[in-house]
Amino acid sequence: IGPDARRWIYCTALSTANETVWDMVWKAYHENPQEYLDVYQVLGCTKNKTIIKKFMEFALTMITPGSYDGIAHTFYSLRSDPAEQYNYALDLLLENAKLIRE
C-alpha cells in the first residue's frame, strides 16, 4: 500500500476507533519503529480528545528524537483535519508550551 493510500486508510479506520483499538495500533507501531510516526500523522483524524491527549502526553514525556517529530506531526495533523481539531491543538500547545520548550 502506498503512503498516500495508507494515510487515508488509517485515517478512515481510526476516525471512529475507541481507545482499545488505538492502544493496539500504538503497540503495533512500537513493534515496528519504521512505521512509528504514522500513528501521530493520523491522530488528528479522531474527534476523541481523550485519545489525542493521551498520545500527546506520551510523546511529550518520552525523551527520544522521534518523540519531537511525533509532536510536530500530531499538531500538523490536528491543524489540517476538522476545524474543531485546530482549536484543540492550540489548547494543547498552550498547555504544554513549557514542557515543549524544555
Q: How many domains does the chain have?
A: 1
With cell 522521534, the residue in question is 66
Question: What domain range includes position 23?
Answer: 3-101
Reported pTM: 0.70
- Whether the predicted pLDDT of 14 surpasses 70: yes
pLDDT, tens digit (0-9, with 9 covering 90-100), for 38-70: 677 788 788 888 888 887 777 777 656 556 677
pLDDT confidence of 35, banded at 50, 70, 90?
Answer: low
